[in-house]
Amino acid sequence: MSGNSRKAAAVLLSGGLDSMVTAAIAREQGFAIHALSIDYGQRHRIELDAASVIATKLGAERHVEISLDLRKFGGSALTADIDVPKTGVADDIPVTYVPARNLVFLSLTTAFAEASGARDLFIGVNALDYSGYPDCRPEFIESFAATANLATKAGVEEGAPFHIHTPLQNMTKADIAREADRLGLDSAWSWSCYDPLPGAQPCGACDSCRLRRKGFSEAGLTDGLMYPADAPPIQGENV
What's the CA gap between 156 and 221, in Å, rounded?
Answer: 46
Domains and CATH numbers, the chain: 8-219 (3.40.50.620)
State yes or no: 30 annotated in a binding site: no
What's the CA gap between 213 and 233, in Å, rounded?
Answer: 9
List CB contacts of 198: < 8 A, sequence separation 6 or more.
Answer: none
What's the CA gap between 68 and 79, in Å, rounded?
Answer: 11
- Residue of 221, 229, 235, 237 lying closest to 188 (CA atoms): 221
Tell the burial category of 160 from Cβ atoms under 10 Å away from its Cβ (0-12, 13-18, 19+). middle
State yes or no: 77 annotated in a binding site: no
Q: What angle do CA 214, 219, 222 make, to 5 degrees?
A: 80
State yes or no: 23 annotated in a binding site: yes
State yes or no: 128 annotated in a binding site: no
State yes or no: 136 annotated in a binding site: no
pLDDT, block means (10 residues), the chain with 239 residues: 74 98 99 98 96 99 98 94 85 87 97 97 85 85 96 90 96 97 99 95 95 97 96 69
State yes or no: 203 annotated in a binding site: yes
State yes or no: 14 annotated in a binding site: yes
State yes or no: 22 annotated in a binding site: yes
State yes or no: 109 annotated in a binding site: no
State yes or no: 15 annotated in a binding site: yes
What's the CA gap between 207 and 191, in Å, rounded?
Answer: 13
State yes or no: 48 annotated in a binding site: no
* Contact by Cβ (8 Å): 81, 193: no
State yes or no: 18 annotated in a binding site: yes
What is the per-residue pLDDT for 131? 62
- Residue of 230, 235, 237 lying closest to 204 (CA atoms): 230
Listed in sequence order, the DSSP H helices in the chain are 17-28, 46-57, 101-116, 138-151, 153-156, 173-182, 207-219
State yes or no: 21 annotated in a binding site: yes
Distances (CA, A) of 9 to 70, 74, 76, 105, 140: 26, 31, 30, 15, 20
Q: What is the pTM of this model?
A: 0.93
What is the per-residue pLDDT for 4? 57
State yes or no: 143 annotated in a binding site: no
* Contact by Cβ (8 Å): 35, 55: yes
What is the total residue count of the chain? Answer: 239
State yes or no: 221 annotated in a binding site: no
What's the CA gap between 144 and 162, in Å, rounded?
Answer: 10
In angstroms, how far is CA 61 from the centroid of its own chain? 19
